[in-house]
Amino acid sequence: MRRWLTLVAMVAVFLGVGVLVVVMAFMGGMVTQVRQAIRGGLSDVIIDYEISGFRYYDEFAEAIRRHPNVRAATPTIFTYGLVNVRPNAPGYERARVSKQCMIYGVRPEELAQVSRFSEFLVTRQTNAERPSLDVPADLARQMTLLGEKVYPGCIPGIEMVTYNPPANSPMFGTEPVLLSSVGAHLEITTFPIREGGSIEKLAGVPQVNTRRFMVVDHYKSRLYDFDRQNIFINFKDAQDLSGLAAVTDEEGRMVAPGRAHQILVRLHDYGKASDTIADLGRLWPRLWCELEGLDPDGPAVRMAPILSFLTWEERQANIIGAYEMQRTVMLLIMGLIILIAGFLIGATLSMIVKEKTRDIGILKSLGASNGGVAQIFVLYAVVVSGTASLLGLVAGLIFTWNINPIERQCSEWLGRDIFDRRTFYFDTIPTDVDPLYTTLIVVGAVALAAACSLFAAYRAARLQPVEALRYE
């Protein structure tokens, strides 16, 4: 009976360790992918203001670049709007799709210096150092020959212009369709915002700005919300759309300077982000006062717009925290399996102590110490759990390294996708084997088994030789 219990305990430890290795690799892969997508789409530090935007963004960006810990900085426009997709995919030309979107007005070359923007472009990744929103020259010539107008370029998130048909769709099949390839037209509509934060009105009627753009590439960060809502256009076009452009009088004199919503900052040493943010926070009000012609050492410094200075982790703490919490919960749940296996090993050893009372008495009568007898049972637990843990580790790593072929094969057998790429929006199942977590899993399994064996070891050590032999 005890042999069967030992085998059951070993199988439990084997399964617990193996499953926990796979689960933690999967959750770690998801966390890694999400963190890479978020950080790649943003930057180390995000400085932003309310929707009305703030003045002197270029001057502030230039001052930021002079900080010793700043590698690059660029202003951006970030506002909400509507996008009307005009498909050019065969069979979908007459379809119109309207979606709400987040409009990013950017300077592509500068954005590539503060983020991984270039790496997320689908068709022009070879020009990673100098990405552009310009319409490709050959396409522009072709459209000119056809007598069509060439519109400014835009880069929508790939999910924004992808049609995912419902399951078992008899009309369009089941495969996702890219509605708007390079050269397709999009219409972007947004509300121009005054400097005070109100919507521009004419005769009491809110005004809207609508511009047509041409798709020059697609953005694919593999983070669903980013790729479903984001669309990138030129910084100047975004200013015009949002009512943030500079205002001049009839003689060309500046009446109101242009405005921006954000400044994205890339640091040399992210570990010093807090100190750098503190420095920039002190720099901004003094710079604003100087540009406004006010005394930076006087009370006027309090009149400067209050900007928000956040790291990318602070900005997206909710998303990152949710994935981190899922990983922690899965670790606790799967750890219970190993804990149960430890109790099985402890129960097995308790039975062995009862069955081997006479043998224990003989050992102690021959001079074995209490500690020596206890070590036998603890060592037994360590050997059993250690062997099972190593086998589980090997099996878990093999399964993890081949998880995508296994998933595809199982999906073919079952006739349905086990890993729904539309839900998770990863091309493959992400995995990240963390050596620290893997080591902790194996060591933890052995330590739990050893801890659960202590009661049985204590009972064996406390047996008196005379009583043990008399018992037999």
Task: Render pLDDT for 411-422 as a digit per residue (tens, 0 to 9).
Answer: 778 777 777 665
Q: How many domains does the chain have?
A: 2
Write down the pLDDT at residue 19: 85
Over the stretch 172-191, which tens digit does the pLDDT of each residue have? Answer: 555 677 778 888 888 999 98
Instruction: Identify whether residues 6 and 111 lie together within a single domain.
Output: no
Q: Does residue 105 share a domain with residue 123?
A: yes
What pLDDT, on a 0 to 100 scale, did the predictor assign at position 295?
83
pLDDT tier, 256 (very low <50, low <70, confident <90, very high otherwise): confident
**pLDDT of 414:** 77
Across the range 45-50, mean pLDDT stands at 90
> 264 with 130, same domain?
yes
DSSP for 287-355?
HHHHHHT--TTSGGGGGS---EEEEHHHHTHHHHHHHHHHHHHHHHHHHHHHHHHHHHHHHHHHHHHHH
Q: Which residues contact 287 (CB under 8 A, 6 or more apart)?
A: 56, 59, 60, 63, 296
Confidence of residue 471 (pLDDT cuts 50, 70, 90): low
Q: 336 and 265 in one domain?
A: no
Domain-ending residue, one of 315, 335, 357: 315
Of 273, 319, 315, the C-alpha closest to 46 is 315
Query: Does one domain contain both 265 and 400?
Result: no
Residue 424: pLDDT over 90: no
The three-state DSSP-derived secondary structure of 38-66 is HHHHCCCEEEECCCCCECCHHHHHHHHHC
Instruction: Tell me if 38 is assigned to some domain.
Output: no
* pLDDT score recorded for residue 47: 92
Q: Give the chain's mean pLDDT.
A: 81
pLDDT at res. 421: 61
pLDDT at 137: 82
Query: With 90 as the cut, is the pLDDT of residue 452 above it?
Result: no
Claim to verify: residue 270 and residue 222 sit in the same structural domain: yes
Place of tokens 């419902």: 166
**Span of 125-139, 204-218, 291-305, 376-390 with lowest mean pLDDT:** 125-139
**pLDDT at res. 183:** 83
Q: Taking the CB of residue 206, how many other CB atoms lie within 10 A of it? A: 11
Contact indicator for 65, 72 with CB cutoff of 8 Å: yes
The answer as to whether 63 is a domain residue is yes
Q: What percent of the chain has pLDDT over 70?
A: 85
Residue after which a domain boundary falls, among 251, 280, 315 = 315
124 and 190 belong to one structural domain? yes
For residues 410 and 168, the model is more confident at 410
- Last residue in a domain, options 297, 315, 333: 315
Instruction: Give a yes or no: residue 275 inside a domain.
Output: yes
The string of pLDDT tens digits covering residues 273-292 is 999 999 999 999 999 998 88
Residue 329's pLDDT band, with cuts at 50, 70 and 90, is: confident
What are the start-end ranges of the H helices in 415-464?
421-424, 435-452, 454-462
Task: Please give the pLDDT value at position 465.
Answer: 64
pLDDT of res. 124: 61
Tell me the C-alpha distance between 243 and 221, whole Å: 29
The answer on 63 and 21 residing in a single domain is: no
Same domain, residue pair 309 and 324: no
The average pLDDT across 366-395 equals 82
Mean per-residue pLDDT, 19-24: 85
Domain membership of residue 298 (yes or no) is: yes
Q: What is the average per-residue pLDDT within 300-322?
A: 83
Confidence at residue 104, expressed as pLDDT on a 0 to 100 scale: 93
Distances (CA, A) of 442 to 324, 345, 388, 451: 21, 16, 9, 14
170 pLDDT higher than 60: no
Over 90: is that where the pLDDT of 167 sits? Answer: no
Res 52: pLDDT: 86
Q: Are residues 343 and 457 in the same domain?
A: yes
**pLDDT per position as a tens digit, 194-207:** 777 677 766 666 77
Same domain, 300 and 163: yes
Q: What is the pTM of this model?
A: 0.74
Least confident of 36-40, 120-124, 308-312, 464-468: 464-468
Stronger pLDDT, 428 or 447, i.e. the higher one: 447
211 lies in which domain range? 43-315
- The percentage of the chain sitting over the pLDDT mark of 90, rounded to a whole number, equals 20
Residue listed under structure tokens 């983070």: 223
Helices 454-462, 435-452: crossing angle, 10 deg rounding: 30
CA nearest neighbour of 29 among 434, 450, 447 = 434
Question: Once rounded to an integer, what is the mean pLDDT over residues 5-15?
Answer: 78
With 0-12 CB in 10 A as exposed, 13-18 as middle and 19+ as buried, what is 57? buried
Please tell me whether residues 404 and 311 are part of one structural domain: no
pLDDT of residue 357: 67
* 440 found inside a domain: yes
Q: Is the pLDDT of residue 1 over 60?
A: no
pLDDT at position 126 is: 47
The token pair that represents 172 in the structure block: 């369009």
**Number of neighbours of residue 434 by Cβ within 10 angstroms:** 15
